[in-house]
Chains A and B, each alone.
Chain A
Amino acid sequence: DAKTTQPNSMESNEEEPVHLPCNHSTISGTDYIHWYRQLPSQGPEYVIHGLTSNVNNRMASLAIAEDRKSSTLILHRATLRDAAVYYCILTGRGGSNYKLTFGKGTLLTVNP
């Protein structure tokens, strides 16, 4: 399985942008980049995903490097509710690609 590398923790101030990096140098051409987050005492929550182009949704933006070996999740204005563990995961399509491999993720702390 292609692996991802994320910083263990990051800190931000409320209402400031946050850039969460993820390295995935062994990504294959068909792997999608998924981001999930897990708030305290809750189940993982889907945030965003992409393949090659940058993506935006109501929660965040995903910037994907041109060589696809890294990506950045962007929270445009962090709120206290964004404090969570953020996971960057690579997923294939179809076949036996059913399992999500959650690493340790990045613990984001948001200061008021």
Chain B
Amino acid sequence: DAGITQSPRHKVTETGTPVTLRCHQTENHRYMYWYRQDPGHGLRLIHYSYGVKDTDKGEVSDGYSVSRSKTEDFLLTLESATSSQTSVYFCAISVSPGETQYFGPGTRLLVL
């Protein structure tokens, strides 16, 4: 199994509070991704990174920011959490675009 961990695995927070989710990999893959999964929408890409300090937006990036200061870590921040951001968040990694993506175990976030 690819070495990908996500933390926290579960989080409950209140509307308006900042939240940071962490993805950590031990595979030294260049590309990292954040997806969210909601019933009826499947997985949707939030942001992705193609190298240290190199990031770009996905299809549902509003309300989210990311940072990647080290190859192994990719952080997703909700600056001011809203109830619509209640979801399951998955991190993924790949060697290059279009190559197989390996997913982490997910973080369940509940915004009250």
Chain A residues packing against B (C-beta within 8 Å): 32, 34, 42-46, 49, 91-100, 102-105
Contact = CB atoms under 8 A, between A and B. Distances in A.
A43 B106 contact: yes
A32 B98 contact: yes
B102 A91 contact: no
18 contacts: A34-B100, A42-B106, A43-B103, A43-B105, A44-B90, A44-B101, A49-B100, A91-B99, A92-B98, A94-B96, A94-B97, A98-B31, A98-B33, A99-B48, A99-B58, A99-B59, A100-B43, A100-B92
Interface residues of B, number: 23
Given A93-B97, A94-B97, 7 more contacts: A44-B101, A93-B98, A97-B97, A97-B98, A98-B50, A98-B98, A102-B43
B97 A100 contact: no
Most buried by A among B48, B58, B94, B100: B100
B45 interface: yes
Nearest to A48: B100
B42 A102 contact: yes
A46 B96 contact: no
Nearest to B42: A102
